[in-house]
Amino acid sequence: MGFFIKYLLSILIFFPLASAVLLLFINKKNEGILRYLSTFLSLVEFIFSIYLFVYFKPDTYKFQFVEKFHWIPSFGASYYLGIDGVSLFLILLTTLLTFVSLISSYRYIREHVKEFVILMLLLETFMVGTFVSLDVLLFYLFWEFMLVPMYFIIGMWGTGKKVYAAVKFFLYTLSGSLMMLFGFIYIYILHYEQTGNFTFNIVKLYNTHIPIGLQIILFIALFLGFAVKIPLFPFHTWLPDAHTEAPTAGSVILAGVLLKFGIYGFFRFAIPLLPSATYVLAPAIITLGVIGIIYGAFVSVVQKDLKRLIAFSSVSHMGFIVLGLFAMSAISVDGSVLQLLNHGISTGALFLFAGMLYERTHTRQIADFGGIAKKAPILTTLFLISVLASIGLPGLNGFVGEFLILIGSFHNYTVLTIIATIGIIFAALYLLRMFQKVMFQDITNPEMENFEDMNLREIITVLPLILLMFFIGFYPMPFLSRIDPTVLHFISMVSHHDAIYNIIKLKTGLSNV
């Protein structure tokens, strides 16, 4: 057990990769074996990740489960892994949603099953690797590798304009990533000029002294990489196409995990590396976040396609997380991190239900549905819980995160926070109206007459997410107690007196021009 815990992060990275290699030796005609074995292996990965939660020390901000080996010493690159209270829950979310996504694909994925399950496991390897990397080069490699499996998942098993959506997703993310790489390389060189040592170690790079003018330029470079991934308005245009055309499993992973990497990148890299620039640019970024909240809500109201409605609602909900993070109060950042987890759970569940509806009716048009409540009471009940969680009903997970974000942001950004609350009102409007039309309007489509309720496999698929909605809603302390030390340390890093001094100096300089 000691060896297992010591190298747990490496096991979590490479177990899905080893599983994918194992599946290569199974004949593609044995689809049942491929499905069940890949699901079982992803379940084992999720169980492994639970050990992180069990052995995680909640009373410290320091990185835990650290592994560090020299990789390319001449360039200062190392195999440096570790987690804190933020990455802990993002890893748990990743392993859970991968397991859930594989179960959900049984009915939908009929062709090239072997290739699909292998790509899903490879994607899991790269996602976990990204969350645990504390070496900038290692982080960037995992970050880029994620694009490849998701590109093929959308392009091969999607619907409609799937190739267009896959290429758009790939190009948008790659373009932003190249700008992000430029920022990292410049900081790497700057650190060498100041210390005489090459290193990609993020903890050491935090101590690099960067003038505020240069900080702003570098922050913009990192911003472009992370903002596209969130996606922050106006860098969001790839998201509705990717979500709409992706298979159900792809949509769940996109909404539940991949959108989280942008916020995580800001939290782990951009903000601590460039604190002065963060304070200067925070009002503009928060403004973009609030615009995204309102824009996503307004566009969701007029959507006729079920998956596009959920996709645009993600743009709106991610805007709240941006607001909480850049408001830079301990409460708002706590809420922002918790809401990352909540959004993955609630929106992941909504996409699962959208997939179930599509698999039965072969339509995503809201107007084509109706009368499902009479035919499928279990699906209706669980779908309603997910809708209410996404709205932020008290007692469910969405309320806790949004409440903390709004409370924590109100003091410093009162007007923008008030405007952001409009998004909550519209979320209730478009989600409840969608639910009413899908479940209760009169049946006009003959396909609805023979609509089947959820089977046992589908109930198992969504039940963990439903239980988490209630658990976090009623008792968020096991999550907040582990997040809070990391957040408090994060706030202390970025609110250092040097950062404030640099801002005053910059404003004074501008006023004298």
Supply the DSSP symbol for 64: E
Give the separation between CA 344 and CA 222, rounded to whole angstroms. Answer: 24
Supply the DSSP symbol for 211: -
Q: Which of 427, 468, 469 is nearest to 309 (CA)?
A: 427
**What pLDDT score was predicted for residue 103?**
92
**What pLDDT score was predicted for residue 236?**
81
Band the pLDDT of 500: cuts 50, 70, 90. Answer: low
Secondary-structure percent of the chain, ordered helix, strand, coil, rounded to 5: 80, 5, 20
**What pLDDT score was predicted for residue 445?**
72
Q: Which of 386, 235, 431, 410 is nearest to 318 (CA)?
A: 235
Ranking 119-123, 175-179, 424-428, 493-497 by mean pLDDT, the lowest is 493-497
Residue 47 CB neighbour total at 10 angstroms = 11
Percent of the chain scoring above 70 in pLDDT: 96
pLDDT tens for 49-74 read 999 999 999 888 899 999 999 888 88
Percent of the chain scoring above 90 in pLDDT: 47
Band the pLDDT of 47: cuts 50, 70, 90. Answer: very high
- Long-range residue pairs from 120-123, CB within 8 A, at least 24 positions apart, any chain: 120/38, 120/42, 120/149, 120/153, 120/249, 120/253, 121/16, 121/17, 121/19, 121/20, 121/23, 121/38, 121/41, 121/42, 122/16, 122/17, 122/20, 122/148, 122/149, 123/98, 123/149, 123/150, 123/153, 123/253
**What pLDDT score was predicted for residue 504?**
47
- Answer yes or no: is pLDDT of 501 > 60: no
Band the pLDDT of 294: cuts 50, 70, 90. Answer: very high
- Answer yes or no: is pLDDT of 139 > 60: yes
Contact between 427 and 390 under an 8 Å Cβ cutoff? The reply is: yes
Token representation of residue 203? 């903890």
**What pLDDT score was predicted for residue 508?**
44
Give the separation between CA 413 and CA 419, rounded to whole angstroms. Answer: 10
**What pLDDT score was predicted for residue 32?**
84
- Answer yes or no: is pLDDT of 305 > 90: no
Give the three-state DSSP class for 66: strand
pLDDT tens for 219-262 read 999 999 899 888 888 888 888 888 888 888 888 998 888 888 99
Token representation of residue 457? 């496999």
Band the pLDDT of 366: cuts 50, 70, 90. Answer: confident
Band the pLDDT of 496: cuts 50, 70, 90. Answer: low
Ranking 319-333, 474-488, 497-511 by mean pLDDT, the lowest is 497-511
For residues 73-80, average pLDDT: 88
- Answer yes or no: is pLDDT of 507 > 60: no
Contact between 488 and 329 under an 8 Å Cβ cutoff? The reply is: no
The average confidence (pLDDT) of the chain is 88
Containing H/E element for 83? strand 77-83
**What pLDDT score was predicted for residue 374?**
83
- Answer yes or no: is pLDDT of 26 > 80: yes
- Answer yes or no: is pLDDT of 405 > 90: yes
Q: Which residue has the tokens 């069940």?
A: 36
pLDDT tens for 151-208 read 999 988 888 788 888 888 888 888 888 889 999 999 999 988 888 888 899 989 988 8
